[in-house]
Structure 1
């Protein structure tokens, strides 16, 4: 599965540069948390007060929002926090965690299983996938997973626009072969480069669901272009990611992966094992977040950034305040 570098960063270039490797220097030391929060359901934790944690994230919208959620969680618990969100590249972010340059990072089980640990076959069951990732990452990399969120699964999917859904009467991926057989002119696909060729992308979908797309009707686009091209009807079937805010904004209809082909991409908090042993209280405070956060929440937050142009830190803090996890000073 492709690493989760598949969306454009929404921060200014200067913030993105803060997350790249500097020649001979590693990552920058980070910056202060951009907004203040006060305790809510997340209460001060004596063991964390005055301790410093550097929070990292990858350089796409959802990850940046999750990074700020982690920062506000730690700040409400009384920790001192450094902001190192928007690290360019999944491998760079993971290496920063392993090498002690950042301390916590929300990550995806599918990414760890396939990209970091080199497994070829995903595990369809979410809990079994998490347990396998948790065991392997700990043994191989000294990385501990905690506060797993099964309500969030940012995996691949196919979407069609509403007109196509109604015209073709399609709701499931298993119905694509019938469409191709009866209406071959509708068999257009918009996908990313890697998805078009990898076994865990389009070729694997074709094998699992028993169809073969006409290569002349497979358009390879950037992921940002795919959403608009699907909405416009340039392609009937577009490769999307299930928590992307553009799905709702463009009124796209996501097809059910009824044979459960795509890997699970549940999120969990990752940290170094020695750090989690030193501060086991991290599990408790981040489980409060996992209990609240689901796909619809992330989709709405992603849309507020990508569609409405809001700052991801504002979006993250507002969601946490709405859920009662933190309070906003002066309000």
Structure 2
């Protein structure tokens, strides 16, 4: 996705630490990277990422792995939102960044209907983007960071909501209860709020929608004062930490969002070893792993570059520390 997502030593301080984490660029240069091989020796690669926790962590993972395999890397992690990164990639201002299959299919390729099978969705996205835009997708990861709506668990029980269809019914019977916190990007995307309300035949007046930074969406949803419902990402560690309940997308509106590294074909042709270096790392990134890495940043307040480096070292992807 992804998707702008962002940074709580303690849950009571979640919002403050969330904002701190967002402003900090995931600086791979602050972490020692050992040698794992020379497959990319001579390559000069500019690494971008979106401006939310997961994508920042993923950006650092890519930067550190490529550096460990001999590449000269330039850190443009935390570059901005989806549009900013995609335009930078197409313009050659960055060489690669992590994107999500659903975003590629709906936003970049302008397809109206998602494909529910994850493998078919990825294949279709990768094929079309390469043919139309000369953008190659390396992946996918097992992780599926899809959008969802969440609500604090006690309020879900009080209102009797378990699915998005329940929310649509609530909007008809008790419209004052359907207040929602979202981020700006979600408010305009076809796979965001505009498409969601259409798919579920739901009416939500503008004065019941609050546009907030991602981290604030989580904390305000947990407080239940600004909003009862909040836009969340299913691999976010704050869902469990804050005790939020994710509502079932029973009409399967949201696409599958498997992460992958997107790279210009020109860059890939110059450095085909990118695939063999990145594929083993990509294969290890499932939902549970990503939730833990995200939580270390968003809940425990650790730096994304440190979190990514420690995980890569644990998995044996950074080679011998004696070569650092």
1:112 to 1:257, Cα distance in 2 relative to 1, 3 A: same
Q: Is residue 233 of structure 1 aligned with residue 229 of structure 2?
A: no
Name 2:21's counterpart in structure 1: 10
Alignment correspondent of 2:12: none
2:48 aligned with 1:56: yes
Structure 2: distance between partners of 1:250 and 1:190: 16
Residue 6 of structure 1, CA deviation? 5.6
Cα root mean square deviation, aligned: 3.1
Q: Secondary structure at the match of 1:94?
A: helix
Q: TM-score, with normalisation over the residues of structure 1?
A: 0.80
Q: TM-score, normalised by structure 2?
A: 0.81
The offset of 1:12, in angstroms, is 4.5
Q: Is the 8 A contact 2:57 2:308 kept in 1?
A: yes
Aligned to 1:93: 85
Query: Following the alignment from structure 2 to structure 1, what is the Cα–Cα distance between the partners of residues 76 and 31?
Result: 14
Aligned to 1:156: 147
Secondary structure of the 1:326 match is coil
Match of 1:23 in 2: none
Task: Please give the alpha-carbon distance, in whole angstroms, between the structure 1 residues aligned to 2:86 and 2:204.
Answer: 38
Cα distance in 1 for partners of 2:209, 2:199 equals 21
Q: How many residues align?
A: 309
- Corresponding residue for 2:9? none
Structure 2 unmatched ranges of 5 or more: 7-18
1:283 aligns with 2:275: yes
**Cα distance change on mapping 1:100 and 1:208 into 2, 3 Å:** closer
| 1:30-179 map, 5 Å | 33-38=29-34, 43-44=36-37, 46-149=38-141, 151-177=142-168, 179=170
8 Å contact 1:191–1:218 — kept in the other structure? no
Match of 1:218 in 2: 208
Structure 1 CA distance for aligned equivalents of residues 261 and 72 of structure 2? 18
* 1:124 match: secondary structure: coil
Structure 1 unaligned regions, length at least 5: 17-30
Distance 1:216 1:140 in 2: 37
The structure, 1 or 2, with the larger RCO (C-alpha pairs under 8 Å, 6+ apart) is 2
1:106·1:269 contact (CA, 8 Å) conserved in 2?
Answer: yes
Q: Which residue of the other structure, out of 316, 320, 323, is the alignment partner of 1:324?
A: 316
Deviation at 1:329, TM superposition (A): 2.4
Of 218, 236, 245, the match for 1:244? 236
2:14 aligns with none
Distance of 1:196 and 1:12 partners within structure 2: 22
Deviation at 1:76, TM superposition (A): 2.5
Q: 1:287 offset after TM fit, Å?
A: 1.3
Aligned partners of 1:172 and 1:257 also within 8 Å: yes
User: Which whole-Å deviations, capped at 9, do the CAs of 1:199-230 have from their partners, x for residues lacking one?
Assistant: 543454344345x3453872323143322222
Q: Deviations over 1:28-74 (max 9, x none)?
A: xxx873312335xxx42x44234332222122222211111001211
